[in-house]
Structure 1
Amino acid sequence: MIEQPGYYRYPTTAQGHIIFVSEDDLWRVPLTGGTARRLTAGWGTASRPLLSPDGSTVAFVGREEGDNEIYIMPAQGGPITRLTYLAANTQPVAFSSEGDVIISSNAGQPFRSLFMLYRVPLSGGEPKPLNLGPANNIAFGPNQLVALGRNTADPARWKRYRGGTRGQIWIGRPDTAHFERLDGINGNLASPMWIGSRLYFISDHEGYANIYSTTADGGDLRRHTDHETYYVRNASTDGRVIVYHAGADLYVLDPAQNQESMVPIAYYSQRTQAETHYVPAADYWTEYQLSEQGDHVLITTRGKLYYMGNWEGPCTPLGVTQGVRYRLSRFIPGQDRILTVSDDGGEEGLELIDVKTGATTRLPGHHGEIAALTVSANGAFAAFSNERHELWLVDLGTFSVLQIDASAYGPVRGIDFSKDSQWLAYALHSTSKTSAIKIHHIPSHETHTVTQPVLVDQNPVFDPSGRYLYFLSHRVFNPVYDNLRFDLGFPSGMMPYAIPLQKDRRSPFQLDPHPLQENGASAADSSDKETPTTVIDFEDIASRVVPFPVREGIYHQLACDANAVYWTMSVPHGSLQSSFFDEEGARATLQQFSLKDLKEETLATTAISPFGQSSGSRSGSRTHQRIDPRKVFRNRGAFVPRNAGAVPGMGQSQPRYGAPAVPRAPWVCAHS
């Protein structure tokens, strides 16, 4: 009787038994099925086992001492022995006729995707190169034929890939050093195997990865499996049958009988990795937003949404606690509700959640994958952009949605409401290389273009006093000489800019004379007593663009209050110590530019990812500036308020909660 099925991977077979991987350990089961027995329970993970032809030894990839290295152990179980010390991505791929294990490794290679083959005796010793060129796999066939697999990784990782690094199989004899590529199959090939005189392999050229075979010269192509739900993956053979996994199950293919069958496994385990456990929430923070008054924060970690006080009090989960992912959550000013993006039900959509009662309301319709979301200061409207390069306006009172604009050339690059919630500023591509700042009047639904871009204008932000619109722009052409070769480039090319919204308003960078000692509050200090009306004169507005008196750089985010403008910026840096996938903004510094004295100040200098403001802090009142708890940035996994020492307990990086992880919940949601 089959009970408690597990997730089975990387099968290998010899002498009537299968060894496979589950729960990062090796397990053994008869080829015909039965009760699986665990072979390993070490400190590290175990994966990619390979049985010797006589079935006595299993080689596998272990991480007992940190790196992926090759270990061996008796196939019945027992102590393990480390064979390699390469500190690289290494795996066993075959056994030679002399009994040595053949490994594939990228050790010492200039690119991590470049693998070479080596021979390692089971008694240990230095790996010896086979000198067969780049290869991920090798299979020994009849008449001294060898099949080499190049780029033959798991096709399931990039389904139906047809690019230049797709898997290839080369057939030839090492003694002649002549190999020919297996052509005529427009698919991603993997797992070359010989059974008799035929070469078996995995290919997805017909849509799904299945097992095929050809003769040694590439003729007589045959298909042997018919999986159309999951890809066939990680096939292996003992020269008689082929074992592989598809989905979470193991299968056996007998080419002689042209039969395949699922291996029935009775699997008994505590399932430690599937148990509910708690992970450090700070390690998985992805988003946060401050409340209007700056006393609460929304935090998204591992796709779950939490609501908590900044300095004390409980941490309350919102929405569905398991199996649903939330993102782009926003407070609605003046209400006890938040607006969030949720995939509850399988499709992403907008939801309103009451933070006190937990009640949820889903807005009707599907509008693609939402890329950015913001809420107006009066709580009446929201705006979002999606991956279709569309901009939509949402009436939160009537739940109606209206498309404002769209581009065929590029994404929406920033959205912001004016303080009086009458205007919506955004940046949208007009060509593939340029994007302009536009302003939409919500009551009349009229849209005006307010900049003439040189390249990309982005991240528009309204001054809360209704005086200016700030934005970032790529329009600085100050060439820099290369220090190693005679060449010029533009490594920065960006600056923040301001637009006076009224034609009679002066540049914010022209200061008025003032006495030695100021008495009374300025207009900006008292601007939170009533919401100012934003008046915009569109005549010749593009000619009123003025740059901030700051250095050019690489700017990432822009925000403001009535008295200062904030941005993150970074400088060009080398790429040897970073990855293409690293977030560029994570290297940024947080800067403040004072509109009172036109001075720039560095607020934080290391590892700043996007910072946030509450809508209340944008009023610029003296009380806010005295403690200033509403300007918060994230520094190395901790939320840090500016001038945190002014309030006891502020600025201390102490864990307030752990995020519960129920591994099976996301799986159920993904496959339901």
Structure 2
Amino acid sequence: MLKISLLFGLFLLFSLHLQAQTTSPLLIGRVGVNQTQIAFTYAGKIWLVDRNGGAARRLSDVPNEETNPVFSPDGKQIAFSRSNGYDLDVYVVSADGSGEARRLTFQARDDLAITWTISGREIVFQSTRAEGGIPRFYKIAVENGALEETLPLPQAFDGSYSPDGGKMAYNPRDFRFGEWRYYRGGLTAPIWIADLKTGALERLPNQNYNDRNPMWIGDKIYTVSDRTGIFNLFAYDLKTKQAKQLTKFDAQGIRTAAAARNAICFVQNGRIHLFDLQSGQDKTVEVSLSSSDTSEMNPRTVSAMRFLDFTSSSVSGNKIAVGARGEVLLFDTITGESKNLTNTSGSAERYPAISPDNKSVAYFSDESGEYMLHVRSLATDVVKKISIELKPSFYFDMVWSPDSKKLVFPDRRLNLWLVDVESGTAQKIDTSTYSAQESWQPDWSPDSRFLTYAKRLKNRAGTVFIYDLAAKKSV
């Protein structure tokens, strides 16, 4: 045991080689837009590019991470958040990048720039500085950095003022679960309208889907919504109370969006788009980056120790599979050799599990664009790819049967799945009605015929079920 522990300790020093790419599509974060240019985050920095596209340039030369660029109403200034060691603070700088950025907040909590007041004299930011760590909106004066004023919203994550500044369309929930495709659980993200004077609230029509990035322009509130299953751009008319779909992406949806008076800028499939509100047409904004400006993206070797997340040991203990940075790594505790089994920078592999016969390792991969089950032969490296369902969810914590022929695992839709590896078929064997059902604790009988698992009933009582594989039912 000591030998294995020492060898595994050495394995923690196993490093991954990262390859930088500066060609489109890019891993773009938050965006902002004014009448002439677009601000976007990439590689931890804020970049500026003309709305017609072209060469992008860095907003600043500081090494600190920067995010959340937001243009002022007149388009002359940019508010953003910059890391100062262990937290993010709000800064403001000229939109042409000239001069030094001026720091406005100094609390030891993350302050994320969200929007500007209609007058352009104050910046609204989100922070968890309140008691209990509740995310709330605050506003601070741009000129003199006067003490922050709390907006009368109990909890908020993103927002946009009405044209007269008296109301705000905002998200009271974050988008953590909204990033899961087809998520329809109890924490979907709706949009509310709050009257900032009276406190009156109005919820935009929502049938348990995710609406985010509210953008209030005239008598319409534009949102990024997954009501069709994929995040697209919608416009909600405050007069007719009807929503209209403006884009029709059917594979990769919109990740984030921001608005100017006459256009909406959004990111889809790693590319920046500009949607013209008058013509109803969108175009792709071609962006090029100079390699001299992306030195931090150059190929380099980093330790994987900080990123180890899922581990699986073989029955004999001679092999250990580990998930790290979306890769599956295999370590031989006898020879001390290690190997990156997947080595796929363009996809994520998670939750590796070594079969009891020590011949295969199974894991989930989004190589195809959706999660599938991959079973890799340790002898030949041949991978068998198994589709689980038509609209895949997020799967985790798989358990092999003792005969190494079947796998059982849950998903985020509260289902329990059984996969026959040889036939490549998957079947749903049970579904929980308890929203907090996380661990099913599946276990197999020694002959692999029966499967036990724990499931909570409607009254939340924990109950053990036995599934008979031959009869294909729980007994």
Shorter-chain TM-score above 0.5: yes
2:124 is aligned with 1:76: no
2:303 is aligned with 1:279: yes
2:367 is aligned with 1:305: no
How far apart are 1:224 and its partner, in Å? 3.0
Aligned residue in 2 for 1:170: 193
Report matched runs for 1:94-113 at 5 Å.
94-96=115-117, 97-110=119-132, 112=134
Q: Which runs of 5+ in 2 are unaligned?
A: 1-21, 390-394, 433-438
Structure with the bigger RCO (C-alpha within 8 Å, sep 6+) is 2
How far apart are 1:169 and its partner, in Å? 2.6
How far apart are 1:200 and its partner, in Å? 3.0
What letter matches 1:129 in structure 2?
T
2:111 is aligned with 1:86: no
Residue deviations 1:449-494 (CA, integer Å, cap 9, x gap) = 9xx9xxxxxxxxxxxxxxxxxxxxxxxxxxxxxxxxxxxxxxxxxx
TM-score of the aligned structures, taking structure 1 as reference length: 0.53
Report matched runs for 1:612-623 at 5 Å.
none
Q: Are 2:24 and 2:271, in contact at CA under 8 Å, matched by a contact in 1? A: no
Q: Are 1:138 and 1:146, in contact at CA under 8 Å, matched by a contact in 2? A: no
Residue deviations 1:227-278 (CA, integer Å, cap 9, x gap) = 3333334322232322222221111122123322121212233474473533
Determine the C-alpha separation between the residues in 2 that align with 1:350 and 1:80.
51
How far apart are 1:373 and its partner, in Å? 1.8
How far apart are 1:199 and its partner, in Å? 3.4
2:353 is aligned with 1:328: yes
2:363 is aligned with 1:352: no
Aligned pair partner of 2:408 in 385, 397, 406: 385
Residue deviations 1:105-164 (CA, integer Å, cap 9, x gap) = 23214353x423323334323212243554444434345542231326458525554746
Q: Are 1:341 and 1:350, in contact at CA under 8 Å, matched by a contact in 2? A: yes
Determine the C-alpha separation between the residues in 2 that align with 1:9 and 1:37.
16
Aligned residue in 2 for 1:603: none
Aligned residue in 2 for 1:127: 148
What letter matches 2:91 in structure 1?
Y
Report matched runs for 1:132-143 at 5 Å.
133-143=154-164
2:288 is aligned with 1:263: no
Determine the C-alpha separation between the residues in 2 that align with 1:34 and 1:209.
27
Q: 1:308 to 1:180 in 2, by over 3 A?
A: closer
Q: 1:340 to 1:82 in 2, by over 3 A?
A: same
Aligned residue in 2 for 1:59: 79
Residue deviations 1:274-306 (CA, integer Å, cap 9, x gap) = 7353323475163242674x6x43342424232
Determine the C-alpha separation between the residues in 2 that align with 1:181 and 1:30.
37
Q: 1:343 to 1:283 in 2, by over 3 A?
A: closer
SS of the residue 1:257 aligns to: coil
What letter matches 2:78 in structure 1?
V
Determine the C-alpha separation between the residues in 2 that align with 1:275 and 1:213.
42
Aligned pair partner of 2:248 in 213, 226, 229: 226
SS of the residue 1:110 aligns to: helix
Determine the C-alpha separation between the residues in 2 that align with 1:408 and 1:162.
14
Determine the C-alpha separation between the residues in 1 that align with 2:133 and 2:157.
14
Determine the C-alpha separation between the residues in 1 that align with 2:82 and 2:330.
38
SS of the residue 1:306 aligns to: strand
How far apart are 1:90 and its partner, in Å? 2.7
Q: Are 2:216 and 2:222, in contact at CA under 8 Å, matched by a contact in 1? A: yes
2:464 is aligned with 1:435: yes
Determine the C-alpha separation between the residues in 2 that align with 1:86 and 1:308.
47
Report matched runs for 1:233-632 at 5 Å.
233-269=255-291, 270=294, 272-273=296-297, 275=299, 277-281=301-305, 283-284=307-308, 286-289=310-313, 292=316, 296-302=318-324, 303-310=327-334, 313-317=335-339, 319-322=341-344, 325=349, 327-330=352-355, 332=357, 338-342=359-363, 347-354=372-379, 359-360=380-381, 371-373=398-400, 375=402, 384-387=407-410, 411=440, 413-415=442-444, 417=446, 427-428=452-453, 433-435=462-464
Determine the C-alpha separation between the residues in 2 that align with 1:276 and 1:338.
33
Q: Which runs of 5+ in 1 are unaligned?
A: 453-672
Q: 1:298 to 1:20 in 2, by over 3 A?
A: same
What letter matches 1:199 in structure 2?
I
Aligned residue in 2 for 1:522: none
Aligned residue in 2 for 1:147: 168
Aligned pair partner of 1:29 in 49, 52, 56: 49
SS of the residue 2:359 aligns to: strand
Q: Are 1:18 and 1:31, in contact at CA under 8 Å, matched by a contact in 2? A: yes
SS of the residue 2:398 aligns to: strand
Determine the C-alpha separation between the residues in 2 that align with 1:285 and 1:203.
31
Aligned residue in 2 for 1:194: 216
How far apart are 1:50 and its partner, in Å? 0.7
SS of the residue 1:147 aligns to: strand
What letter matches 1:240 in structure 2?
N
Residue deviations 1:577-602 (CA, integer Å, cap 9, x gap) = xxxxxxxxxxxxxxxxxxxxxxxxxx
How far apart are 1:67 and its partner, in Å? 0.6
TM-score of the aligned structures, taking structure 2 as reference length: 0.71
Determine the C-alpha separation between the residues in 2 that align with 1:152 and 1:76.
34
What letter matches 2:338 in structure 1?
T
Aligned residue in 2 for 1:512: none
Q: Which moved more, 1:90-99 or 1:130-139?
A: 130-139
How far apart are 1:16 and its partner, in Å? 0.7
SS of the residue 2:179 aligns to: helix
Determine the C-alpha separation between the residues in 1 that align with 2:203 and 2:66.
33
Q: Which moved more, 1:267-276 or 1:44-53?
A: 267-276
Determine the C-alpha separation between the residues in 2 that align with 1:21 and 1:279.
25
Q: Are 1:35 and 1:265, in contact at CA under 8 Å, matched by a contact in 2? A: yes
What letter matches 1:280 in structure 2?
A
Residue deviations 1:33-80 (CA, integer Å, cap 9, x gap) = 111112234343211111123333211121123212212223222433
2:68 is aligned with 1:48: yes
Determine the C-alpha separation between the residues in 2 that align with 1:402 and 1:205.
30
Bigger Rg over Cα: 1
Q: Are 1:58 and 1:75, in contact at CA under 8 Å, matched by a contact in 2? A: yes
Aligned positions, number: 416
Residue deviations 1:84-107 (CA, integer Å, cap 9, x gap) = 123334322222315221223232
Determine the C-alpha separation between the residues in 2 that align with 1:265 and 1:298.
43
Aligned residue in 1 for 2:136: 115
How far apart are 1:215 and its partner, in Å? 4.5
What is the aligned-residue RMSD (CA, Å)?
A: 4.2
Determine the C-alpha separation between the residues in 2 that align with 1:431 and 1:235.
40
Q: 1:266 to 1:330 in 2, by over 3 A?
A: same
Q: 1:144 to 1:12 in 2, by over 3 A?
A: closer
